[in-house]
Chain A
Amino acid sequence: MKTIRIGSGAGYAGDRLEPSLELIEKGNLDYISYECLAERTIAIGQQAKLKDPTKGYNSLLEYRMKRALPLCWKYGVKLITNMGAANPQAAARKCVEIARKHGLIGMKIACVTGDDLLPVIEKYMDTEVWETHAPLSELPGEIVSANAYMGVEGILQALKQGADVVITGRVADPAIFMAPVIHEFGWDLDDWDKLGKGTMMGHLLECGGQVTGGYFAEPGKKDVPGLGHLGFPIVEIAEDGSFFVTKVPEAGGMVTKETCSEQICYEIHDPENYLTPDVIANFKQVRFTEVGKDKVKVEGATGKPKTGTLKCSIGYKDCFIGDGEISYGGPGCLNRAKLALDILKERLELVAPGQFDEMKYDLIGCNSLYWNPNYRYEEPSEVRVRIAGRARTKEIADLIPNEVEALYTNGPAGGCGAVKRTREIVSVASILVDRNDVKPVVELLEV
């Protein structure tokens, strides 16, 4: 039976580069896909594009592509990525420039657009927002981006036209891994069980090292070899949708039933109904079998027909968050830290009464991760005070970190290592849109 091999080149926007280069060189791959687009990243990219129409794509695109493209060309590996973010067209042009510089004459680079619904956002003003249960028109801040999660169609069109590199904006994460499988095997887009298997494959690959031993180690209980040179995953998949997960033998990390189990559950809700633009996948009966060292066979996924709607992420200007931190150490440090929090509460009420929408007061080392007031903790040898608050304007938000810093000369004894910052917050809300409103557009460029 025909098989193909797909590597995962990145699990998030800022991921390590060299594991992907190792995969292209030594993984005997047909395709490599880089997943680099978190929910909010595209909203920030959209703002960059507004300021400069040649920007708005992943900031590491050039850094990655000048190493990856020549290697892909040499080893005959096709590359798919959502690094186009808010501007796949500009990203594709940048890739052409890089490929030309490296003499990759004849390389075909495609971009897929059509996910951007900002130009027609007025049409959805009465649509209910998931998070607020209110119409989109009632979002509290200016809308700066609207991107629908597209499925495999655009990437398939690009591959059919002979693209060696496909650059997208917002598509569902599993789609950038599943599209080449559909393309190579000629799967029907209503063969739901196969698409369920392809989605499970994509889901296991989309977070890079998280399935090869990254984000897994627990010394003494779950030891992982070679995390300093962690290898990224490879899937070898057959025409019938059966596949195994593995890695390059000399790379660090490991592929076991346990690493696969943690990743299959990652960011899913109901395992019987994992909704994607291409299929409703069912992972409930998934089984893992270790068939060799660092080689896990995956079976049991199925699928059901896709829904008539697509999720669309809306980025909007939400608020400003100011936060500040300062440390206390040695005997009595916990009492000094608590005194610092009391002082901060009094000060903020004094300088800006009623101006903060929400505040959070933490003692890092004691209670910052788990908000349970009953959680037990012992007196630490040092403790870090942290406060964060939300305000409508930067001027008001700035007061929070400034008051933390002012504890140097006005607060308890021995305060040290203060830091402060204020951020403008672009938040993300979600709506559903009719899938017929979203049409992928492919543009093919040749080097």
Chain B
Amino acid sequence: MKLWEIAHSRTGDKGNISNISLIAYDPKDFDLLREKVTAERVKAHFAGIVKGNVVRYELPNIQALNFVLYDALGGGVTRSLSLDMHGKGLSSYLLDMEI
């Protein structure tokens, strides 16, 4: 299934760094997200977009993961050549991941 079926997500940007939350609708699915959606898996999913590391953080009481993607925004909002300079659409791409 796609992550979209069990989780929701929002992207933020700071400079050339993107952060993408992944929040389980049902707390019961949080362990599944923790097991399947590793930093390595996210880095591979965003191949071509993310040039740097991906680091994963957890907010357990709200069943959320927070992925920080370094060197991910084509130089950052001020100088990116991308149509989506902020990378705001990246959350939807994460939810397209199959687990």
Contact = CB atoms under 8 A, between A and B. Distances in A.
Contact of A389 (B9, B16, B17, B81): B81
B59 interface: yes
Interface stretch (A19-27, A85-93, A102-110, A354-362): A354-362
Nearest to B59: A271
Interface residues of A, number: 56
B99 interface: no
A288 B62 contact: yes
Contact of B79 (A263, A272, A425): A425
Contacts of B89: 369-370
Contact of A262 (B16, B23, B78, B81): B23
B84 interface: yes
Pick from A215, A261, A284, A390 the residue with the most CB of B within 10 Å.
A261
Interface string A33-64: 00000011000000000000000000000000
A267 interface: yes
B57 A271 contact: yes
A416 to B, nearest CB: 19
Interface string B28-54: 000000000000000000111100000
Contacts of A389: 81
B59 A284 contact: yes
A428 B46 CA distance: 25
Interface string A419-440: 0000001111010000000000
Contact of A362 (B66, B83, B93): B83
Interface in A362-382: 362, 364, 368-374
A306 to B, nearest CB: 19
Interface string B65-83: 0101000001111110111
Contact of B49 (A283, A285, A370, A386): A370
A265 B78 contact: no
B48 to A, nearest CB: 4
Given A222-B8, A364-B83, A371-B49, A267 B78 contact: no
A262 B15 contact: no
Interface in A228-268: 257-258, 260-268
A286 interface: yes
A270 interface: yes
A373 B48 contact: yes
Contacts of B57: 269-272, 284
Closest 4 pairs between A and B when the two form their complex, measured CB to CB: A267-B12, A265-B21, A360-B81, A388-B81
Interface of A: 39-40, 130-131, 215-216, 218, 221-222, 257-258, 260-272, 283-288, 300, 318-319, 321, 323, 358-360, 362, 364, 368-374, 386, 388-390, 425-428, 430
Given A258-B8, A264-B59, 9 more contacts: A257-B62, A262-B10, A265-B59, A285-B60, A359-B81, A364-B83, A368-B82, A371-B48, A372-B49
8 contacts: A262-B10, A266-B21, A269-B68, A288-B62, A360-B81, A368-B84, A371-B82, A428-B78
